[in-house]
Structure 1
Amino acid sequence: MTSLLYSEVEEELRAAVRGLLADRCPPAAVLERAESDPYDLDLWKTLAGEIGVAGLLIPEEHGGAGASASEVAVVLEELGRGVAPVPFFTSSVLATRALVQAGAAGLLERLADGRSTAALAVSFAASPYHPSRGSSVRSADGRLSGTVTGVAGADVADVLLVPADGGLYHVEGAQVAAVSSLDLTRPVATVTLDGAEATRLGDVDVAEVLRFGAGLLASEQYGVAQWCLDTTLAYVKERHQFARPIGSFQAIKHRLADLWLDVVRARAAARGAAADGSPVSVAVAQAWNAGVAVRVAEEALQLHGGIGMTWEHPVHLYLKRAKATEIALGTPGDHREALASLAEVPGPERGQQ
């Protein structure tokens, strides 16, 4: 049976990432730069170069660490706890997974040490079940034309990877236009290809890449939920009404107990998806974790009272990250529907109540 416990190596990796984020990227610092310059590329260089997170999924023969998804999941938990504005998920998870499939050794070596950052031109609203959602790209005579909407990480990527007709292409000269995003810490862009020159790198299974990404996104969602719960617990012990901490009121205790149970289950689901990676485990993790992250963030905002409603408190960044990831790589409804099919549990017949 696969263990869901954290290994010693994973705990050491967690400590390194958490320590760096606490020093360089506390939530208040993320909030301060959210509207002007959301990405912290100096932080990313340190994470990629000194801690080595950029090459975790890259095989050792290409300069990477050859680590498993479980190590990557630990990094995502911490980045979720800090709503860290770095392109780890888009470059070191999605784009790297596609490059590994295509066998693009040269680009993998560039990504392994953080020299370059890549983005996979797939809509963040696409899913393992609808991988072409938001994309209308076609290839002809070594050139690509079309548009991909809602591409995360494209505006800061040095390498743009575009899947088309079963292949993965390295494209230069694409038009990348940033668009408004609910999540201020993870901008999205529209990628327009107008006969852009493209180099075919190899074959790619976009649905599998998105399934892999969805499974690991559950760890980020768990990290968001854990921060919201921890921060709210600390706040209700400090805020007083009627000469008592509000956390001593029974109604508040019950709400927090329910949230704690939700978060514990989210951790188990995320660990299961990272360790197993099967379609069932991924569907379970996303069907549960996406909603939990939103629910805990909403409760955190409410239980913080007046300060929680203000722009000055970072809790709204977590709510926006949670809401954005709820519709990323498949909605909870998409994953529940897939899970029912995978488990051979038929849905109600049309017309039944």
Structure 2
Amino acid sequence: MDFQPTEEQRDLRAGVRNLLAGRYGREALRASVESGVCVDRDLWRELGEAGFFALRLPEAEGGVGLGLPEAVLVFEEAGRALVPGPLVATHLAAGAVPGAAAGTAVVTASDLDGSLVAHWGEADAVLGLPGFASTPAEPVRSADPLTPLHRVASAPVPRAHRDEGALLTAALQVGSALRTLELAVRYAGEREQFGRPIGAFQAVKHLCAEMLVRAELARTAVYAAAVTGDPAETAAAKLLADEAAVRNARDCLQVHGGMGFTWEADVHLHLKRAWVRAEQWRTAAEAEELLAADLLEGAVQRVQRRPE
């Protein structure tokens, strides 16, 4: 089984990176934070026109006709650019909610227990909750300024979407982990101390090397789960990706030193988003429980097959 992206998949990833670099670069990210407008409707439509949301919708239904391996590549790029909004839920709603595939509708979903919903006030629909506009919602403080949260009575995500949502969120986390690695390495090469770039010091080298290993391990797990579609591998991918995104952002902060805590640096936005995503679709505790159950089942099956 080959987990390496094909030439067509690499071209797809490059195309999405170029689109986001031109349309949602650092200035646009900062403008979103300062304005408090988390979902750019024009950008949402452009993503729809580019096939971002309809990527896995069959061609007969107006989609691109690709699969999860291609989806994780484009979501990785969205995570790298820190594009805000309910990207995962809108993608999952393509073909089921009018306008989702084209990007003319913003669709969100509840997280975990069916009570916490991101981007409630900016959404046109909620997965699994018809008539959501009349549902009472209470604002909840969020660590990420671009991920507003509301608590509602009940808005359960359909079980069919749970694994796919977790995997796509893991891809977003991988993109963030790779981006904070880039930021750390670049700053380590530019910032000088005692007449030398700080990247020349062993402690900083070790931090960056650990960030690289963490990000690549998570990326490999996400790619593998996208190919196999195995629920246990998806759980492992989410677990590794959450850890990579959070720990890489923290290490990137350490490389930046005091500069990393200032408003001018982007790394704090990556850390805040990583914290929120780690609690979406599947938490570490849930992933660990699923993996433990899978290991136990495998052990029981091996014992049952063992000749007496």
The TM-score range, normalised by the shorter chain, is 0.7 to 0.9
Q: How many residues align?
A: 297
Relative distance call for 1:208 and 1:319 in structure 2 (3 A) is same
- Structure 1 residue 178: deviation in Å? 4.6
Q: Which runs of 5+ in 2 are unaligned?
A: 299-308
Of the three residues 103, 127, 147, the one matched with 1:161 is: 127
Amino acid at match of 1:55: A
Partners of 1:298 and 1:319 within 8 A in 2 = yes
Partners of 1:237 and 1:245 within 8 A in 2 = yes
User: Residues 251-273 of structure 1: CA distance to partner in whole angstroms, max 9, x if unpaired?
Assistant: 11122112211111011011112
1:151 is aligned to 2:127: no
Match of 2:43 in 1: 43
Give 3-state SS (helix, strand or coil) of 1:185's partner: coil
Match of 2:214 in 1: 262
- Structure 1 residue 242: deviation in Å? 0.6
Relative distance call for 1:170 and 1:272 in structure 2 (3 A) is farther
Partners of 1:119 and 1:154 within 8 A in 2 = yes
1:52 is aligned to 2:51: yes
Partners of 1:83 and 1:185 within 8 A in 2 = no
Match of 1:79 in 2: 78
Match of 1:166 in 2: none
- Give the TM-score normalised by structure 1: 0.77
Partners of 1:80 and 1:220 within 8 A in 2 = yes
Give 3-state SS (helix, strand or coil) of 1:268's partner: helix
Match of 1:224 in 2: 176
Of the three residues 187, 191, 213, the one matched with 1:239 is: 191
Match of 2:302 in 1: none
Relative distance call for 1:154 and 1:205 in structure 2 (3 A) is closer
Higher strand share: 1
Of the three residues 162, 167, 180, the one matched with 2:141 is: 180
User: Residues 94-153 of structure 1: CA distance to partner in whole angstroms, max 9, x if unpaired?
Assistant: x34xxx6xxx4xx35x32222323223x2x2x0xxxxxx1x4xxxxxxxxxxxx3x2123
Partners of 2:127 and 2:158 within 8 A in 1 = no
Amino acid at match of 1:334: E
Match of 1:296 in 2: 248
Percent of pairs identical after alignment?
A: 35
Partners of 1:91 and 1:153 within 8 A in 2 = no
Partners of 2:137 and 2:150 within 8 A in 1 = yes
Match of 2:28 in 1: 29
Relative distance call for 1:304 and 1:159 in structure 2 (3 A) is same
Distance 1:287 1:160 in 2: 26
User: Residues 276-300 of structure 1: CA distance to partner in whole angstroms, max 9, x if unpaired?
Assistant: 2211111111221111110000000
Partners of 1:183 and 1:317 within 8 A in 2 = yes
Amino acid at match of 1:47: L
Match of 2:65 in 1: 66
Partners of 1:57 and 1:68 within 8 A in 2 = yes
User: Residues 206-227 of structure 1: CA distance to partner in whole angstroms, max 9, x if unpaired?
Assistant: 2331112112211111100000
Q: Which runs of 5+ in 1 are unaligned?
A: 127-132, 136-147, 164-168, 194-203, 347-353
- Structure 1 residue 16: deviation in Å? 1.8
1:314 is aligned to 2:266: yes
Amino acid at match of 2:108: A
- Give the TM-score normalised by structure 2: 0.88
Partners of 1:218 and 1:290 within 8 A in 2 = yes
Higher helix share: 2
Distance 1:92 1:329 in 2: 14
Distance 1:28 1:237 in 2: 23
- Structure 1 residue 157: deviation in Å? 2.1
RMSD of aligned residue pairs (Cα, Å): 2.4
Match of 2:303 in 1: none
Distance 1:79 1:177 in 2: 28
User: Residues 309-348 of structure 1: CA distance to partner in whole angstroms, max 9, x if unpaired?
Assistant: 11221111100111111122222232122101101189xx
